[in-house]
Structure 1
Amino acid sequence: MSERLAGKVALVTGGGNGVGKAVALSLAEHGASVVVNDLGTTEQAEGGSRGAADLTVDEISRAGGKAVASYDSIATPEGVANAVKIAIDTFGPVDIVVACAGALFPGDLSATDETWHRFIDLFLSQKFFLARATVPGMAERGWGRFITVTSEGARGTLGNPIFAAAMGGVISLTKAIANDYKAHGVTANSFNPAAATRLYHATIASWEHKHAAGEITDEMWEAIKVGPGPASYVAPMVTWLTTDAAAQTTGQVFTIGGGNVARWSSYEEDKTIYRGDHRTTPEWTLDELDQVVPNGLGGLA
């Protein structure tokens, strides 16, 4: 064990399996006291069990670390409040949050209102509830790390519009927290995990179906079959983001997996068409835009 996170209290959601578990183990290995939150559902968010969280806690304890379980649903503000209370009552105020919890939902445009709200609550509202319950306290104490899981789906490349909306929202939420609290010793970052977790394996059949239907390329299907590395390869970079060494790293999005760490580009204006300001020139006409948009902005196809 190292002591780089000694005295810090971490809350990890989805800590009973996959990336969440790997992160919880890594934080504990480096000295943090960890609240392992996991509702213990299936990949499709059905049922519930204490077993997943308990196994991670047991593993940390056997290795000489400090951990306690939370079985709360962090898709609700009440569940988040109770998980934070467990942390405070057991170890003290929360210094580190890593929000990993997720599940598989169908999220196309035929989804019901109920599915929409359930999806958004688990993937996006979770992060807001966690931030509201922990980040102001971090700022008052002058130190904190808030880390959220996003996905390649934020780019819209995986279809599933509800998932894309939630994951894009996570990035924007996290960047705004980073901006608001950067002067208070609190950092906020997001990561897209590339790992062969149970959720990854549960999607293989659907990707095979998409390949057979011609919806994804042979190249993409071959890459999916090969698969990413284990979840343990994601944990070191996430842990590094919680250390003092990462004090200046905030508002960033990373893809982490299989030995690779890649930083995403930021939202920014990259090309402009200009005809003067509103005081000296008339509005664009559609005929003018027919010409200048493809030529001046490009890459719109």
Structure 2
Amino acid sequence: MTGRLDGRTAVVTGAGNGVGRAIALSLAEQGARVVVNDLGTSATGTGRSSEAADKTVEDIRAAGGAAVANYDSVAEASGCANVVQTAVDAFGPVDILIANAGAVLAGTIDATDEELKKVFDLVVFQKFWLSRLVVPGMVERGFGRIVATASEGARGKVGKPLFGASMGATVSMMKALATDLAGTGVTANVLAPGASTRTYVEALPALERQYREGKLTEEMWLRAKKGPGPVEHVPPIVTWLCTPAAADVTGQVFHSGGGRISVWSEYEDRGTITKGDPDENPPYTLEELDVLVPGTVMAGLTK
């Protein structure tokens, strides 16, 4: 295989199935040498097998690419270290990190402390541990690409506060990392994918419950039930972000799926009211806010 990523070493976590597998195949098609990490669990994070990772490696090699498998858990710091060492031993220093591994885990406010730790270890700390390992070398070499997977859960629209918090933390971490890495040749972005994968199917019952409880409109439920479409629509933007063409694109959240690509808006102040110099004017009274919040601050905002 030859392409835009010739000579680059990539690590893709959760690459045995779904989005991760599709990204690994896409990077390899462009010439990247890929470490395919997958613990081989079910969509809900149970069990363990080498089969999924091995199949992705087999398919990459069959197409003429270079790949090796790694079966460590990236929900552990030691597992992340083993993944990076696998890359170094097989191909050399990591140029591209796709921190994608995830599972359908507890996310509601009644989650136990053990469940909370499990979610954050996999969804948030994976990205931190892996980035901590590869960023110094990327900066030293003047090239690096990091893409971390999050989801619509970061917006809070699907409920599940613990799930939402972990996804929101992923977004904020990558944005802050992008700020720290400005001018180094290393970028950090987020992927919010949409694809009818096994994890998506696993999440459907919860969405149906939300619909039955009146938390989702019928239109939203029908759209969810139909699914966002084939996983093959997800990887192109991720692969492009890893090329030299995307050198100036960092700190962004890209949605990709169903034949659509979009970028999330930035956090920004909206509907501002002001009394001018705070040293010369008193604070707002509650009576003033009775009028100004609904009439000005919140005016025009959509849910």
TM range (shorter): over 0.9
Deviation at 1:181, TM superposition (A): 0.5
Matches within 5 A, 1:76-95: 76-95=76-95
Unaligned runs of 5+ in 1: none
Q: Give the match for residue 227 of structure 2.
A: 227
* Aligned counterparts of 1:74 and 1:114: Cα–Cα separation in 2: 17
Compute the displacement of 1:47 (Å). 1.2
Does structure 1 residue 75 correspond to structure 2 residue 57?
no
Number of matched residues?
A: 301
Pairing of 1:109-258 with structure 2 (within 5 A): 109-258=109-258
Letter aligned with residue 190 of structure 1: V
With normalisation by structure 1, the TM-score equals 0.97
What is the one-letter code of the residue matched to 1:214?
A: G
2: CA distance between counterparts of 1:253 and 1:262?
9
Distance 1:243 1:220 in 2: 35
Instruction: Map 1:286-297 onto structure 2 (within 5 A).
Output: 286-297=286-297
Range with greater deviation from structure 2 (267-276 or 234-243) = 267-276
Matches of 1:224 and 1:105 in 2, distance apart? 19
The ranges of structure 1 where at least 4 consecutive aligned residues each deviate by more than 4 angstroms after the TM superposition are none
- Provide the alpha-carbon RMSD of the alignment: 1.3
1:296, distance to aligned residue in structure 2 (A): 2.4
Between stretches 1-10 and 60-69, larger displacement belongs to 1-10
Which runs of 5 or more structure 2 residues have no equivalent in the other structure? none
Distance 1:281 1:213, change over 3 A: closer
In the TM superposition, residue 271 of structure 1 has moved relative to its aligned partner by 2.5
Rounded to whole Å, the distance in 2 between the matches of 1:272 and 1:116 is: 36
Cα displacement (A) at 1:231: 1.1
Separation in 2 of the partners of 1:201 and 1:230?
13
AA of the residue aligned to 2:72:
D
Letter in 1 for 2:271: K
Corresponding position: 1:2 with 2:11 = no
Aligned partner of 2:261 in structure 1 is 261
Corresponding residue SS for 2:254: strand
Query: How high is the sequence identity, in percent, across the aligned residues?
Result: 52
Q: Which amino acid aligns with 1:87?
A: A
2:280 corresponds to 1:280: yes
Shift of 1:191: 1.2
Q: Name the amino acid aligned to 2:149.
A: V
Which residue is equivalent to 1:99? Answer: 99
**SS of the residue aligned with 1:184?**
coil
Please state whether the residue corresponding to 2:73 is helix, strand or coil: coil
